[in-house]
Structure 1
Amino acid sequence: MTATQFISTRLFARAIAGAAAVLTVGALTACGSDDDASTTLTQAESVTLTDQWIKAADTEMTAEFGILTNNSDNQVTVTGGRSDAAGSVEVHEITEADGVRSMQEIQGGLTIPAGATVELTPGGNHIMLMDLTRPIRAGDQVTITLTFADGSTLDASAQARDFSGNQEKYADHETSSATSHAGE
């Protein structure tokens, strides 16, 4: 073997070894990315909202209902949001003390445990659309963007329905006077 052939063979062997190293690192990175993807999902990417609907309303406020499912191994928290039909979107709950029911914003947001489902229902936990910017009529599609504790967002569209239930009087949590909660 001549010196030129020796050098060419040696360079070829190094090139093959280098290519093999690059392919090995690429394969390991690709395998690792599947595991990393499950742990790096945002809270919004971990949640599905199904069977959502909004109560038709003319003014002030209304509510959205549906089923929130956390498909991850970590708890997630819905902190609020925004809508094309409201000034603000808040997460609310109904509480009862001394026989008086009241609606209030859930401080810190609505937490959904890992792998759990939370139903948003009239008379229970729900999403409030506050300070409506337009009437919401039965059949209208309303866009809502839910915001999560990590800052991620989930866009959803819900159809408005007529709903005559839950016209009870609630104690206003800010003024302690009874107010109608027609939105829920």
Structure 2
Amino acid sequence: MRNTLAGGTRTALVLAGALAALGLAGCGGSAGAGTPTPAPPAPAAVLVVKDPWVKAAPAGTMTAAFGVLVNNTAADVTVVGVESAISPMELHEMTTQDGKMVMRPKAGGFVVAAGSTHELGPGGDHLMLMRPATAIEPGDQVTFTLKLAGGATVPATAIAKPFAGAGESYDPGMPMGSAAP
């Protein structure tokens, strides 16, 4: 096999490698050891949003984002808010009140237990987009940021999907089981 590096290029590479080795020897570690100190491991994400998606909807029509919140840490994590540039957002839940399913803001946020998951899905807990300024078409990407207790944030991007589901409506003027116009 023939070496295809020209003499000057080979010399420059050898010199660059030597300089890099000298630079590493002078950084970190204990004095005289000559061994660099390894970088600390990157912190694990406090919370991950797995498979995020949003229900496609016309402009100005309430809709919702879903996915699975994954907590791989040893402590409970509480989602206390959510925001997006395309719409005001709120944390919502579906619950039974006076024998009827109702949607309402989730008091106290979503608690994701240590080492556990919390599903956001149609007919359950979800991230409510109150009044999107523009239509959310199938295939669009919607970015949002979860706000956690303690001040940390978690960015996510959800893909828009057409979804008829069980005919649920996220419009407060429509009874559950009615399709939104």
TM over 0.5: yes
- Residue 131 of structure 1 aligns to a residue whose secondary structure is coil
Partner of 2:160: 160
Residues 13-36 of structure 1 deviation map (CA, whole Å, 9 limit, x = unaligned): xxxxxxxxx939xxxxx89x77xx
Provide the rounded CA distance (Å) in 1 between the counterparts of 2:136 and 2:105. 22
Provide the rounded CA distance (Å) in 2 between the counterparts of 1:62 and 1:171. 8
Partner of 1:113: 113
Partner of 1:61: 62
CA drift of 1:98 comes to 3.1
Q: What percentage of aligned pairs have identical amino acids? A: 41
Provide the rounded CA distance (Å) in 2 between the counterparts of 1:170 and 1:61. 6
**Counterparts of 1:136-175 in structure 2 under 5 Å?**
136-168=136-168
| Between structures 1 and 2, the one with greater strand share | 1
Query: Is the CA contact (8 Å cut-off) linking 2:82 and 2:127 kept in structure 1?
Result: no
Structure 1 pair 182–171 and aligned structure 2 pair: CA distance change class (3 A): closer
Structure 1 pair 170–129 and aligned structure 2 pair: CA distance change class (3 A): closer
- Residue 132 of structure 1 aligns to a residue whose secondary structure is coil
Residues 108-150 of structure 1 deviation map (CA, whole Å, 9 limit, x = unaligned): 1111111110111100111111121111011101111111111
Give TM-score, length-normalised by structure 2.
0.69
Query: Is the CA contact (8 Å cut-off) linking 2:62 and 2:170 kept in structure 1?
Result: no
Provide the rounded CA distance (Å) in 2 between the counterparts of 1:61 and 1:170. 6
Give TM-score, length-normalised by structure 1.
0.68
CA RMSD after TM alignment: 2.8
The correspondence for 1:23, drawn from 25, 30, 35, is: 30
Structure 1 pair 182–126 and aligned structure 2 pair: CA distance change class (3 A): farther
CA drift of 1:99 comes to 2.2
CA drift of 1:182 comes to 6.1
CA drift of 1:170 comes to 8.3
Partner of 2:79: 78
Provide the rounded CA distance (Å) in 1 between the counterparts of 2:86 and 2:138. 14
Total equivalences in the alignment: 144
Unaligned stretches of 5+ in structure 1?
1-21, 25-29
CA drift of 1:84 comes to 2.4
Query: Is the CA contact (8 Å cut-off) linking 1:103 and 1:171 kept in structure 2?
Result: no
1:85 maps to a residue whose letter is I
Provide the rounded CA distance (Å) in 1 between the counterparts of 2:86 and 2:76. 29
Partner of 2:5: none
| Between structures 1 and 2, the one with greater helix share | 1
